[in-house]
Amino acid sequence: MDVQITDLSLARGGVPVLAGVTMSLPAGQAVILRGPNGAGKTTLLRAIAGLQPALSGRITGAEDRIAYAAHADGVKSMLTVRENLTFWADVFGAGGIDAAIEAYALAPLADRLAATLSAGQKRRLGLARLLVTGRPVWVLDEPTVSLDTGAVAMFADAVRAHLAQGGSALIATHIDLGLEAEVFDLTPFKATATTQAGATDEAFL
Amino acid sequence: MKALLLRDLRLALRAGGGFGLALAFFLIVIVLVPFAIGPDPELLRAVAPGVLWLGALLACLLSLDRLLALDFEDGTLELLATAPLPLEGALTIKALAHWLTTGLPLVIVSSVLGVMLGLPSAGYLWVVVSLGLGTPALSVIGTFGAALTVGVKRGGLLMSLLVLPLYVPTLIFGAEAARRGALGLDATTPLLMLAGITCGVVACMPFASAAVLRMGLR
């Protein structure tokens, strides 16, 4: 099943940022999301993940199929790498964490507290979480921040393996991952002054 | 759900988890009260149930700050919101974990700390029973307050102001049950009211908490 986005308009902090976004994310494919800072990449990804409502338009095929990775990794610093991964595997009910540990070469770090990891190692742990969710659609916001070239290659391999299994990925990034992926530029969808902000209740929330 | 409960308990017990914070605060309050109001046993005996309840309530309030704020800061809440676990369930579990690490220890030590205040021997049972019935409501209401202020930087003050009025009915009936018990009067009515408040809050509040948290995460 594909994720289909139709004529989507989104606001951030009460200000419309995107209007009329129409795109599809077919199974087995990756789409790279591009656009200058503030173009609305994060807003779009959060809407697809179901964290914020749309002003108008529809998102179909995303419900309960998304594994979302944001700027923050959701890593608990007082738990070990293994405990962190096991927790997410249990929450998503997907089981084994061994494949995830292997894919991101976390075995030497498995029993260390996450507080003692470097920024790049923490990010690798955050990305390994995607593998234990068992969800088919990955929605990733700048996944390669603070990764070295070796880790970026690990990430690209993980995405390729995920696509080969029929999964899909929507990745907002500024660097070239070496993936065979369609590029979707958000710049043309910038909201204009005429974009309907809808009847806003922001003042009361 | 079990994974979330175990994780929260484990985090609370590890360094920086804040497990002892509420307990230590409660201990300090109860130890200092006799110094503050004087050594008159009659006076202490009269205020003991109320002071124990007040101490437990404030200790509970003190620990609410960390309930959701830490998970919000490191992004865990957003990821939990996209997980298959319903947010209502997740928040109920977090409230349960908060009660197990804060409310339950308070209930247990209150039975010992009554000695400091010269609590009449008839009162111990009622203090423990009323706190045992009332503290779950404090944790669940506190989770609502924490969810309401989750995106607010330094939201502790705002949360205290929002939560304290909601704590008042629990405090009134809880302290009343303990007071009546200590005086050897029939405490059934306030205990039933207290149990009713707790049941109602546990049943309804998680939905409100999840709704405001979804709004806070936007």
Rounded to a whole number, what is the distance in Å from the CA of B1 to chain A's nearest CA?
Answer: 7
pTM value is 0.89
- The values of phi and psi at residue A80, to 5°, are -75, 170
- Specify whether the backbone of B86 is left (phi greater than 0), alpha (psi in -120 to 50) or beta: beta
pLDDT for the residue A200: 52
pLDDT for the residue B165: 93
Which residue of chain B has the CA closest to A54?
Answer: B218
pLDDT per residue, tens digit, chain B (218 aa), is 788 888 888 888 886 667 788 899 999 999 999 999 888 888 888 889 999 999 999 999 988 888 888 888 888 888 888 888 889 999 999 999 999 999 999 999 998 888 888 888 888 889 999 999 999 999 999 999 999 998 887 778 889 999 999 999 999 999 999 999 988 888 899 999 999 999 999 999 999 999 999 988 88
pLDDT range class, residue A205, cuts 50, 70, 90 = very low
pLDDT for the residue B171: 95
CB B87 within 8 A of CB B212: no
Rounded to a whole number, what is the distance in Å from the CA of A122 to chain B's nearest CA?
Answer: 12
Q: Long-range contacts made by residues B106-113, C-beta under 8 angstroms, separation at least 24?
A: B106/B22, B106/B23, B106/B26, B106/B56, B106/B59, B106/B60, B106/B131, B106/B135, B107/B56, B107/B131, B107/B132, B107/B135, B109/B23, B109/B26, B109/B27, B110/B26, B110/B52, B110/B56, B113/B26, B113/B27, B113/B30, B113/B31, B113/B52
Is the Cβ of A119 closer than 8 Å to some Cβ of chain B? no
| Inter-chain touch B82–A49, beta carbons under 8 Å | yes
> How many interchain CB pairs under 8 A, A with B?
69
For residue A112, the one-letter residue type is R
Question: Using CB atoms, which residue from A74, A75, A78 is nearest to B15?
Answer: A78
pLDDT for the residue B55: 93
> What are the extents of the domains in chain B?
2-217
CB A28 within 8 A of CB A169: no
pLDDT for the residue B16: 67
User: Hey, what domains does chain A have and what are their CATH numbers?
Assistant: 27-53+61-189 (3.40.50.300)
| Tokens of residue B54, six digits | 């007040």
B50: nearest Cα among B30, B36, B66, B35 = B30
